Structure formats: C-alpha cells, structure tokens
C-alpha cells in the first residue's frame, strides 16, 4: 500500500566545490531553527565532518544520502524515515551539482535531488562575476529537465553595487528567483584541517563562527521565500508505510552491573573517534545489541562488553592523550588476546597498531596489530571502495563484494604479515597497500574502508552474532 508524505524539502547545491554550500546550509539551519522549526538535515555523500556540524546546528541527527552506494529505494526510504516528522528537510549537496563518478552523473547531488524530488537552492560564488552569473544560472536550470533550480543564493558578494548588478542580470535573463545574497567576509568561514572541516564536537569555541553565520543568514537570506519554495513541492510517494528510526538508549557502564542485557557492544566515542554513521549504530540495536559509550582518553578500562566498535576520527590529533591512557590500552590489548570481537575503521585501525608517527613525533598505541602508522601530507586513499571478502573474514561471507569509501592521510608501515591475515582484496580503491585492505587477528577486523549499514545491512547481524557467540564461550551454560 502506497503512502504520500508531505515533506517540505530542498537541496543546497552549487556549480562547484568550495562555493560556500556548507556555510550557507549551516546559516539556513540556524535561521530556521531560530524560528522554532524542526529541521532535518541530510548530507549528500559519505562525509562525516559536515554532518557533525549540521547535527549540532539543527539539533537533529544528520543523515547521509549516497546514490552510488545506496539503492534509489533505500535513499527514498531513508529520507522519508527521518524527515517525515520534521517541518522541513535540508540536504547539503557535495561538489558541483551534476558532478558524479561518470559521464552520466551517477552519484551526483542532482541524482539525489531527483530521487527525493527536491528543488535545488543553487549557491553561486560571485567573486569577480557580474552579468555572467545569468549564463551560469541558465546553464544549470536547463541542463537536466528533471532537476528544478528553485532559487539562487548569491555568495561572496563584494558590495551593494555588485549585488544590484547580479540581481538585475538574473532578473533579466533567468526564470529563477534570487533568494539571498551573502556578503564577502572571513567572519563567515569555519576553520578546516587535512580531511575537511574540524568536527563540531572537537572545539566548542568554533560554535561562535556558526552563530555568526546564523545571524548573517537570517539577515541576508530570504527565509520566507526559501520556506515557500520548500513547502510548494508536491508530496513524496512511498511504496509502503515507513516507520521512524529505532531510538538508541545508551547504557552507562554502571548499568551493566545491575541488569546486564544479553549482548552489549561498546562504541568508542570521544574526541579521537567520532566518525560513525547513525544508521550503523541503529543497525546494531536492531540486530539485538545494547550499546555503551566508551572513551579511550578518559576511561581506565573497558566495561563488561561482548564486542567493540572503533570508528574513524583523528587519533593523530589526540595521540598524546591516547598514549597517556596506558591502562585502557593495556586492558584493550588483553581483551583482544582473549578473543574480544573488535570492528575498527580507519582511525580505529591506526589506534590498534603499535605506534602513530606524525609531525616528527611518535606515539605509542594499543599494540594489538603488528604495524605502525605514518601520517603524510597527501591522501593515501580517497574515494569509493569495492572489496572482495577473503576466506575466514568475520562479519562478511567469503566472496561477497562490499562497497564503502576511504579517506585517509595515513599509511601502514612495518607490517608483519606473518602475525595477521588480510581480510579483503581491493577491487577499487587503495586500502592498506593498493592490493589488500583489512587485517584479521583473532576476532579483530581492522580496515581503512568505511561501510554504511544502509548499503551493507548484513554487517550488523554478523557483528552481533559474533559478539553473542564469544560471550557464550566465556560463560558456557
């Protein structure tokens, strides 16, 4: 039975990257939430950092939409599931609006806009541009008849005379309204580092920049016009009733002593490890696990858990703090030797090695894996990955091809392959050495590839099954 969901929505896109999409999106979210609206943010692509900011500003967990990894129906279901109870849904695009992985634009922001039938708010960097803006807007408006450019935001406008010329050119030659003009100014810039913006949870002082952006958006953007655009779009059809996402009730370590659930998976979530897709955590809960939050910086040891999930992040930035917590590192290494199931992605792989070398300094890590990691200036792996599962790899059946993505400025050095085994053959991407990704040691699987549970739904079931099995071996009937 089909359902129609009336969800006001729009996608913030741009002709190219570095046009100011994130800044405009953050400002728009701040201005909308300041009006008391419930705003559901989404991010096109598999980025972790931008969503952390969108989540912080909107007060609702940002979700990723990626048409390369996710089926069209999965994207629509994900969008409806998380937006149906919001007043408006805002999707931040990535790269140029029509930029994808091939000539047909597969995986582009425009493709996501078509799947969820959202109008596009086009952000144009108007630096050193006047009348040419009309040609650019018309080109984007007419390139794909299935993509509707609903409005234009002029960004990096120099002065009032510049703005007047830009508005006049679009009014004269285009059938697209201007819905705001953001002035040039470094006060609207959010600091970044080697993998993009600094994560929102890492430096509270950076929220001042976001507040300034929100105030500017409320002043310089046509919020009423943007709302009218989003609300004027027809309902979105769903092929079935789509329930909201499962709620995660994070356990405190002390709760495990009072009434311990059947299967408990620890998640290291602190300033070092913050790259987690919310759907991955929800999938673990749906598979029967209870989750407990752990800090590798502050906790002296692991709580009573049956499995451990270590996501990506910036362990090199907090390497000194991680090294200083020796009791936690020693306890984790001991538990790994006892067979604790551990799934570690990117930063997690780095943490499980012996040392991290960065900026002429070296820091001791867990030492469970026979390798060291070196930070370099250029990305060693960046983009989508296709991996073939090798025999004996937990969490996935042998021969299966899984998709994901990698983005890392680190490389593995000093690997002793005789003390562990590779888990995947790389069909696309780089991984550990261009040929293989993922290392197996006892019940540990550590890899550079990041998966998304929407595209790999079996992962959580395998993980929970392994955790439950390991617990039974420790506490036989």
When divided into structural domains, the chain yields a total of 2
CATH of the domain at 72: 3.40.50.300
The per-residue pLDDT for range 15-27, each reduced to its tens digit, is 999 899 999 999 9
CA 166 to chain centre: 34
C-alpha–C-alpha distance, residues 351 and 333, integer Å: 11
Reported as type and span, the H/E element at residue 12 is strand 9-13
Residues 1/111, Cβ–Cβ less than 8 Å: no
> Is residue 209 in a domain?
yes
pLDDT at 202 over 60: no
pLDDT at 394 over 80: yes
Of the three residues 238, 271, 288, the one that is the final residue of a domain is 238
Residues 299 and 165 in one domain: no
C-alpha–C-alpha distance, residues 408 and 196, integer Å: 11
* Confidence band for 447, pLDDT divided at 50, 70 and 90: very high
Q: Specify the pLDDT at position 193.
A: 44
Residues 293 and 193 in one domain: no
> Is residue 244 in a domain?
no
Residues 161/189, Cβ–Cβ less than 8 Å: no
Tokens matching residue 197: 């913006």
- Which of 236-240, 303-307, 370-374 is the least confident region? 236-240
C-alpha–C-alpha distance, residues 109 and 113, integer Å: 6
pLDDT at 186 over 70: no
Residues of the chain above pLDDT 70, percent:
94
* Confidence band for 196, pLDDT divided at 50, 70 and 90: very low
* Confidence band for 288, pLDDT divided at 50, 70 and 90: very high
Question: In whole angstroms, how far apart are CA 375 and each of 269, 301, 382, 412?
Answer: 22, 27, 15, 9
Q: Specify the pLDDT at position 435.
A: 97
Question: In whole angstroms, how far apart are CA 331 and each of 303, 307, 326, 367, 456?
Answer: 10, 14, 8, 11, 31
**What is the extent of the structural domain holding 149?**
3-238
The per-residue pLDDT for range 267-284, each reduced to its tens digit, is 999 999 999 999 999 999
Integer Rg of the chain from CA: 23
C-alpha–C-alpha distance, residues 182 and 12, integer Å: 14
Residues 408/380, Cβ–Cβ less than 8 Å: yes
- Known catalytic residues? 346
Residues 305 and 439 in one domain: yes
- 388 Cβ neighbours under 8 A, 6+ residues apart: 399, 400, 401, 424, 425, 427
Residues 287 and 345 in one domain: yes
Tokens matching residue 234: 């027809």
Question: In whole angstroms, how far apart are CA 251 and each of 102, 143, 305, 310, 410?
Answer: 44, 50, 11, 17, 33
C-alpha–C-alpha distance, residues 301 and 331, integer Å: 6
> Is residue 247 in a domain?
no
Residues 135 and 168 in one domain: yes
- 240 Cβ neighbours under 8 A, 6+ residues apart: 1, 2, 3
The per-residue pLDDT for range 203-230, each reduced to its tens digit, is 555 677 778 888 999 999 999 999 999 9
Average pLDDT over residues 402-412: 96
Residues 18 and 165 in one domain: yes
Question: Alpha helices of 252-397 — where are they, by DSSP H?
Answer: 255-258, 278-286, 319-324, 326-337, 347-352
Of the three residues 179, 206, 238, the one that is the final residue of a domain is 238
pLDDT at 454 over 70: yes
Residues 200 and 262 in one domain: no
The per-residue pLDDT for range 117-137, each reduced to its tens digit, is 999 999 999 999 999 999 999
> Is residue 277 in a domain?
yes
Strand ordering across the sheet containing 39-44: 63-65, 39-44, 88-92, 9-13, 120-125, 149-157, 178-183
Question: Could you tell me which residues are beta bridge partners of residue 373?
Answer: 356, 412
Q: Which residue has the higher pLDDT, 105 or 204?
A: 105
* Confidence band for 197, pLDDT divided at 50, 70 and 90: very low
pLDDT at 253 over 90: no
- Residue 244, classed as helix, strand or coil, is coil
Tokens 């959010």 belong to: 190
* Confidence band for 475, pLDDT divided at 50, 70 and 90: confident
How many secondary structure helices (H) and strands (E) does the chain include?
14, 26
> Is residue 248 in a domain?
no
Residues 217/24, Cβ–Cβ less than 8 Å: yes
Of the three residues 238, 270, 294, the one that is the final residue of a domain is 238
Residues 56 and 173 in one domain: yes
Residues 179 and 279 in one domain: no
Tokens 């696309």 belong to: 428
- Residue 225, classed as helix, strand or coil, is helix
pLDDT at 195 over 60: no
> Is residue 246 in a domain?
no
Residues 232 and 331 in one domain: no
C-alpha–C-alpha distance, residues 269 and 278, integer Å: 12
Q: Specify the pLDDT at position 364.
A: 98
- 86 Cβ neighbours under 8 A, 6+ residues apart: 7, 38, 39, 40, 60
CA 412 to chain centre: 24
pLDDT at 257 over 80: no
- Entry pTM: 0.92
Residues 104 and 215 in one domain: yes
> Is residue 245 in a domain?
no
Tokens 């506490």 belong to: 475
Average pLDDT over residues 48-53: 88
Average pLDDT over residues 339-344: 98
> Is residue 250 in a domain?
no
Average pLDDT over residues 360-376: 97
Residues 353 and 433 in one domain: yes
Q: What is the rounded (10 degree) CA torsion for 60, 125, 111, 70?
A: -50
C-alpha–C-alpha distance, residues 439 and 181, integer Å: 50
CATH of the domain at 363: 3.40.50.880
Average pLDDT over residues 338-364: 97
């Amino acid at each position: 039975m089909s359902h129609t969901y009336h969800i006001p929505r729009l996608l913030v896109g741009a002709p190219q990257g570095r046009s100011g999409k994130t800044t405009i999106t953050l400002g728009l979210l701040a201005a909308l939430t300041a009006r008391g609206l419930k705003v559901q943010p989404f991010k096109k692509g598999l980025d972790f950092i931008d969503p952390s900011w969108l989540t912080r500003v909107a007060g609702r967990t940002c979700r990723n939409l990626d048409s390369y990894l996710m089926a069209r129906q999965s994207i629509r279901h994900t969008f409806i599931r998380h937006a149906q109870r919001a007043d408006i849904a805002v999707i931040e695009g990535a790269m140029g609006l029509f930029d994808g992985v091939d000539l047909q634009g597969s995986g582009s922001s425009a493709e996501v806009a078509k799947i969820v039938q959202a109008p596009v708010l086009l952000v144009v960097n108007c630096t050193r541009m006047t009348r040419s803006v009309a040609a650019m807007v018309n080109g984007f408006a007419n390139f794909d008849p299935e993509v509707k450019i609903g409005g234009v935001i002029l960004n990096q406008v120099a002065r009032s005379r510049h703005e007047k010329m830009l508005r006049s050119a679009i009014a004269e030659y285009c059938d697209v309204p201007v819905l705001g003009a953001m002035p040039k100014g470094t006060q609207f810039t959010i600091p970044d580092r080697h993998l993009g913006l600094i994560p929102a949870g890492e430096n509270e002082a950076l929220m001042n920049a976001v507040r300034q952006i929100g105030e500017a958006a409320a002043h310089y953007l046509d919020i009423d016009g943007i709302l009218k655009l989003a609300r004027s779009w027809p309902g979105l059809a769903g092929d079935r009733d789509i329930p909201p996402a499962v709620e995660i009730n994070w356990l405190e370590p002390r709760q495990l002593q009072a009434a311990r659930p059947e299967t408990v998976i620890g998640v290291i979530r602190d300033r070092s490890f913050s790259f987690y897709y919310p759907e991955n955590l929800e999938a673990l809960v749906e598979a029967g696990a209870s989750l407990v939050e752990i800090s590798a910086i502050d906790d002296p040891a692991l709580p009573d858990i049956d499995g451990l999930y270590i996501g990506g992040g910036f362990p090199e930035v907090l390497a000194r703090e991680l090294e200083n917590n020796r009791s936690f590192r020693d306890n984790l290494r001991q538990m790994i030797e006892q067979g604790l199931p551990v799934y570690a992605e990117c930063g997690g792989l780095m943490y499980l090695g012996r040392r991290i070398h960065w900026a002429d300094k070296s820091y001791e890590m867990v030492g469970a894996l026979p390798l060291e990691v070196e930070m370099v200036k250029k990305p060693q792996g960046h983009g989508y990955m296709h991996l073939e599962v090798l025999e004996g790899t937990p969490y996935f059946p042998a021969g299966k091809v899984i998709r994901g993505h990698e983005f890392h400025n680190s490389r593995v050095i000093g690997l002793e392959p005789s003390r562990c085994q590779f888990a995947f053959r790389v069909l696309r991407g780089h991984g550990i050495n261009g040929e293989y990704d993922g290392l197996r040691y006892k019940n540990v699987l550590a890899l550079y590839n990041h998966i998304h549970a929407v595209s790999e739904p079996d992962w959580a079931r395998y993980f929970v099954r392994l955790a439950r099995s390991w617990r039974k071996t420790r506490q036989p009937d």
